[in-house]
Structures are given as C-alpha cells and as structure tokens.
Amino acid sequence: MWITFVLLTLCFSLTQTTTISCLLVIHECQKTDPARWTSCYEDRIATCRRPRGSPSSDFKHERVNSSQEAEITMKHKYTVRVPSLALRRSRHQESEEEVLLVASVINSTYFKPQTRQGRFTIPQRQAPLQGEVLGREVLFVKAGSKPVKNLTQLIELRFKHSKTAMNTTCVFWEEYLNKSGWSTSGCQTNNNGQEVICSCNHLSFFAVLVNPNLKVDESKEERLSYITYVGSGLSALFSFISLFIYVGLHRRRPEKAISMHMQLTVAVFCLHLGFLACSFWVLLPSGNGNTWVCRGLGLFLHWSLVATFTWVALEGFHLYLLLVRVFNIYVRRYVLKLSIVGWGLPTLVAMICGVSGAYGKYILELKNSKNQTSTSEICWLRSDFSQRELVLYMTLGFLCLVVLYNSCMLGLVVFKLWGLRGDTGGYESSSDWKKMKKERGPRLWKDCATVLGLSCVLGIPWGLATATYATLPGIYLFTILNSLQGLFLFLWSVALSCKSRAEQNVSFRDPSSQKMTTTSF
C-alpha cells in the first residue's frame, strides 16, 4: 500500500513538472523559435497548467458542448461567438460531445512582421498590412485539436473601443515559410462606432488595425528624418539668437509681452535642443540600454515639451487680457506668477513621471512599402512603461485644449482687425479716405503677416498633430511647421525689433505724434 502511494506521488510530481504554466507558454515558445513562436503557442496552450489565482479575464480554458454555439467574453470588451459547425470540425473523434475552447489576450508587441531570406521565396497572397493595433492587444481563439478553417458559418469577434476609430480593419496573424504579418484573408469588418465586429471563417490570432493603409516608404522616411533634424537644428540656432533680440527689446521697452515671448523662446530652444540630444545619444556606442543619461534626456525632452505647451497657453491668456479685459487688468507681480505656472507645471509633471520610472529608451518600429521593418530609437518614454499610454494621452489632451483655446484667441484677433480696418467713420475729409484706400493693400499684407506670426506664437501649427494619423501630406506639413517653430519665432522677434525702431524714429522726429503702446503684439 505504501509503495502504491509513493508511486502515485512520484507520477503526480513528474506530471506537474513537465506541464508548463499557461502564463509561461509564450516565453518558452519564443525561446524555442522566436520567428515562428505562434505555432508552438497553439500546440502548448491547450495542455498547459493554469496557475491558481490567474485572472480569468485574460485567459479562458474550458470545455463546451460541440453541438451548441459557444460564447466567451474577455476583459469585458472582447466577445467571441464560435458556431457549432466550428466546434464539430475541431473534434478529434466524431463521438466527442465536448471540446476544449481556449481564448487568451496577448500583447501586440510580441507580433513583429518579418521577412526571412531563404533559398526559395514563396509569394504571399497579399502584402501584410501595417498599422496600429487597436488597444495593443491580440485575441487568440482555438477549439479542439484540429485546425478550423473555410467555415460557412462565420466566427464573430467583437472589439469594443473607448475612442473613435474610424479607419479599422479586422486582421489575423498569418505565417509563411519566408514571411509573417497581418492579413485580412477570410475576415470581414463592420464598425458601428462603439465596437468593431469581425466575421472570420477560421480560428487564429485576431486583431483590429487602425489606419492600415498609411504607408511610408524608405525614401519618404529618410526625407522626413532630414526635415526634422535640419528644422530642429535651425530652430535651436535661431531661438538662441532670438533671446538676444528680446533682451535688447526688453531693455528699450520693458513690456510684459516681450518678457513672455522671451520665456516661450527659452522653452522652444530647450525642446529642439533636447530632441536633437535624445535622437543622437542612442546612436553612440555608450547610448545602448536605459542608462541614467538616456533617462535624464527623456525627462528633459518631456519637460521642455510640456513647458512649450504651457507657455503657448499663457501667451493666449495674455492676449485675452489685452483684447477683452483692456481696462483694470493690473496684476501684482504678473510675470512672476505666470513664470511659476509656466515652469512649475512642467517640473511637477516631469518629477511625477521620473519617480514612476517612465523615462528611458523608446523603440519605434517603422514599415516601408517593401514590407521591411526598420526601428528608430530615441530617449523618451520607455516602450515597456505600463502607464505610457496614459502619459501620452494626458499630454495630447493638454495640447488639444491649448490649441482650441488659442484658436479662439486668434479668431478674436482677426475679428478685431477686420472691425478696425472696416471702420471709416473717423475720417474728416475725402483726402483721408483716399489715402486710407490707397494704403489698404499694404495694410492687408501687414495684417496677414500679423495673423501668421501670431499663429506661430500661439502654437496653432501643433494642432496639425491630428492630421498625422490620416494622410501623408499632413505628416509633412506637421513636420515642417513644428520643426521650424524656432525660426518663425526669430522672424517674429525681428519684426518686433523693426517696429520698435520705427516707433522710436517717429517719436524722435515728431514728439507730439508719440502714442502709448499697450502691447507688442
């Protein structure tokens, strides 16, 4: 009796040691064959050992009746409906009444489209699609022990999403002898605004791609990189020169607006200088890994980006006081209080993210028209940081609010200029009216230049960030305008300097014609 008990204990312990945990299947399969780990995952996930206390929302492993439709809900936002025909086809023997149905949610970073060079190349039925995976999660579904494909009763998968995803496509992971990537073969897409409904005739790894048709080939990618680096270099240089111009202006005419322009220029200078430092540091031999230098550069880049947005918002606030609250707007230590907000808010945000360990090396995977994968690295928010998307969404949300508010302020400026130029009641004789009519063309050009300059100061070109998700021309326009922001601020400082000298010359020739200047805008 004791011998039987010992033998049973040994058999049970051996079975437990040879059966791998379900949470470790994907890691073990990637160690065995990193290029084709999905086949290993499909084989082992049905026989793995589910650990105690594992979250049921990420993993389902249950037996279902093969004669009825089965429905599974994952993480309260993914729903899978498997018809009875698919369950019957997956049976190892026709006499089986129940089959094993497995479903799991996998991070999309494990799926990297590859092109493997071999002696023979087998063409694909279609080129793999590129795009951002909705929610960065892939849904895996398997039934029984036999492959299920070419179904007449389609499998329905529902992907709920909290944000509006207009351009979506249902895809599955397909592997060949020489290539692997996302494919739409056998899948149909229906987006009702709240969820994406995928109808497929097989079981596999499923996902939803957002903007799958936007491709940037290698030549365009290099062009965008050159534009970005050259534009940032010019912006850093001209921002540095603008600081001296503003210092000279502030000595001649100490206005609050000039002081704010000066601090915005400092933020833009730090932004472009930090971007160049973060981009080129990872190219150095000592820049590999999440070193303390890379983490510091990532913190500096995020801090300067938030500082730029904050000072752009303060420029719009100051313009509101000048145009709407014209009288009784004296605030004690006005510039000091704005400086506390302009530099204190970015410092607080950077400190919170730094303590959370958000900064480090970020790896961005890019696709060209030949379906080749290239990576771009920069010191920024770490790719494996769990709250990275939350930080990005909060930063983008702050930018959207700033652009929306400053757009209203710019519209108010246009309205004021239009009302000022359209007012003709102040002319005493017809000669004044003729003189005004003759100068209408030059004044119109000056007003257009003023509006364009203000749009750069108020950060309106940052609003083109929404166009980068839709069209390639939007990417070019966003890259050119925002990489040259420092140059535009330099032109604005030169215009203010010329205006200041012209007013000094007029007042020197005719002191009675000197007027009180309310703002340098």
The per-residue pLDDT for range 144-156, each reduced to its tens digit, is 888 888 888 899 9
- pLDDT score of 421: 63
- At 435, the pLDDT band (50, 70, 90 cuts) reads low
Tens digit of pLDDT for each residue in 477-519?
888 888 888 988 898 888 888 876 666 554 444 444 443 333 3
Say whether pLDDT at 339 is over 90: yes
Question: Is the pTM here over 0.85, yes or no?
Answer: no
Binned at pLDDT 50, 70 and 90, residue 192 comes out as confident
Residue 190 or 252, more confident: 190
Judged on CB neighbours under 10 Å (0-12, 13-18, 19+), 441 is exposed
Q: Is the pLDDT of residue 3 over 70?
A: no
The tens digit of pLDDT for each residue in 340-349 reads 999 999 999 9
> Measuring CA to CA, which residue among 317, 313, 310 is closest to residue 347?
310
pLDDT number for residue 268: 94
CA distance 66 to 78: 22
- Sign of the four-CA dihedral 250, 252, 254, 260: negative
pLDDT at 198: 93
pLDDT at 208 over 50: yes
| pLDDT higher than 50, residue 321 | yes
More confident residue, 417 or 202: 202
pLDDT at 502: 61
Would you say residue 119 has pLDDT above 50?
no
- pLDDT at residue 264, rounded to an integer: 93
At 326, the pLDDT band (50, 70, 90 cuts) reads: low
CA 217 to chain centre: 20
**pLDDT grade for 92, boundaries at 50, 70 and 90:** confident
pLDDT, position 517: 35
Given a cut of 70, whether residue 360 has pLDDT beyond it is yes
Per-residue confidence band for 289, with pLDDT thresholds at 50, 70 and 90: low
Q: Give the type of residue at 499.
A: K
CA distances from 97 to 93, 94, 268 (A): 9, 8, 68
Work out the average pLDDT over 111-127: 51
Decide if pLDDT at 231 tops 50: yes
Q: Are 298 and 379 in contact (CB under 8 A)?
A: yes
Residue among 378, 377, 390, 382 nearest 359 (CA): 382
What tokens were used for 312?
A: 């752009």
Domains of the chain: 55-115+123-210 (2.60.220.50), 218-423+431-513 (1.20.1070.10)
Assigned token pair, 360: 């480090």
Instruction: Give the pLDDT confidence score for residue 53 in this predicted structure.
Output: 54
- pLDDT for 57 equals 67
Please tell me the least confidently modeled range out of 312-321, 405-414, 456-465. Answer: 456-465
Mean per-residue pLDDT, 205-234: 77
Least confident of 79-83, 159-163, 404-408: 159-163
pLDDT for residue 211: 65
